[in-house]
Amino acid sequence: MICSFGENDSGPKDEKLKAILEEIRACPERPIMLNCNVGEIFSYQNPGTEDDSSEGSEFNRRRDLEILHKLDLMPGAILPARIILFRIFDTIKNVSNICGYEETTSNEWRGCEKARKGYYEKALQNVLAGNPVCTRDFYKLLKEGKKSIILERQEEELAEEKEKSLEEMYRSEEISVRPHILLCAVEQYAEGVMPPYENDNLPEMMQHIIRNPEVKIKLVEGADWMICAPCPGRESRSNSCIHGKGNCGLSNQLRDLRMMQKLGLKYGTSMKARDLYKLIFEKIKTTNEICALEGTFPSVWESGCGANNLRWIKEGKENEVYKRGREMLIDALGIRPSNKSYRS
């Protein structure tokens, strides 16, 4: 499917590939299972040879295994289409020794004739999106129209969503926020990020609660519309966060739950903004214990800030931006000391 975009800018002509493309575009979160005729303990998922290309079963089996090896996935793996595609973009830069070989040892191992024409590499280079860490950078890179596999949210839609969500936030007595991005808002404040901000409503929220510290904040699940409406990485149908590199928001969910455990709170908790931030600043003096993530990458857990916090832990350091923002907001929100010291 990717190769077809290099051969023809409008994408695949094969009816089956066109149908797959349409399904992915209609719902990039649709689960895809990667089947492969490997036998042995993975025989339960063998798909048979009906969809094999003309080069023969051995060639098809090796090609499938080379791809799975590059993706670090096993036969039968099921992931959202978006994640599989981005992992392909990230890990398979060319199809040499996957779809074709430098030496043709026999007719059975001649490979795909298109492998030597550079169609796949052309698609990655000129037509399809790259794979940056930050979701908003990915959406800036996406091409418009049919040349992209996953179609972007349009700027007009994002601007309209931002306007409507801000109106709702300003007139509401309760602001809905997923927990961990309250820490992100502290960092943005320290960095001087001020309204208007294109990609979310956190700077607007922070200015609003500084002026109105008695307004309530409600802790909610997912990429809530009131704050995340203009984010290019929000999947509105499922209220989901599409993390950097196309990953799902598992790391964000884990950060939310770590934070609520630290605060002794749960989803649905509603508190005055000043009181909530007072509790946050008493209990969370560094983001390291909330945000650090370790693992093998590429991964659905991949996270730039998760890797940064892990590095700071190993170096015996803290998130200096959060630390500075915390001190600034203690003053801006007029948070008075309690018996528990929260200045450090």
CA distance 224 to 229: 7
pLDDT tens per residue, range 182-191 = 999 999 999 9
C-alpha distances (whole Å) from 18 to each of 5, 124, 181 are 11, 18, 39
58-67, pLDDT tens digit by residue?
Answer: 999 999 999 9
pLDDT of residue 146: 43
3-state SS of the chain is CHHHHHHCCCCCCCHHHHHHHHHHHHCCCCEEEECCCCCHHHHHHCCCCCCCCCCCHHHHHHHHHHHHHHHCCCCCEEEEHHHHHHHHHHHCCCCECCCECCCCCCHHHCCCHHHHHCHHHHHHHHHCCCCCCCHHHHHHHCCCHHHCCCCCCCHHHHHHHHHHHHHHHHHCCEEEECCCHHHHHHHHHHCCCCCCCCCCCHHHHHHHHHHCCCCEEEECCCCCHHHHCCCCCEECCCCEEECHHHCECHHHHHHHHHHHHHHCCCCCCEEEHHHHHHHHHHHCCCCHHHHCCCCCCCCCCCCHHHHHHHHHHHHCCCCHHHHHHHHHHHHHCCCCCCCCCCCC
Question: What would the pLDDT profile of 253-277 be if each residue is shown by its tens digit?
Answer: 999 999 999 999 999 999 999 999 9
145 pLDDT more than 90: no
Greatest CA separation for the chain: 80
pLDDT at 139: 52
Q: State what percent of residues in the chain have pLDDT above 90.
A: 65
117-126, 151-160, 205-214: which is most confident: 205-214
Per-residue pLDDT, averaged over 105-111, amounts to: 91
Residue 64: per-residue pLDDT:
96
The confidence score (pLDDT) of residue 10 equals 82
The pLDDT of residue 344 is 54
Q: Tell me what the pLDDT averaged over the chain comes to.
A: 88
Mean pLDDT of all residues in 98-126: 90
Domains in the chain: boundaries: 2-147, 155-332
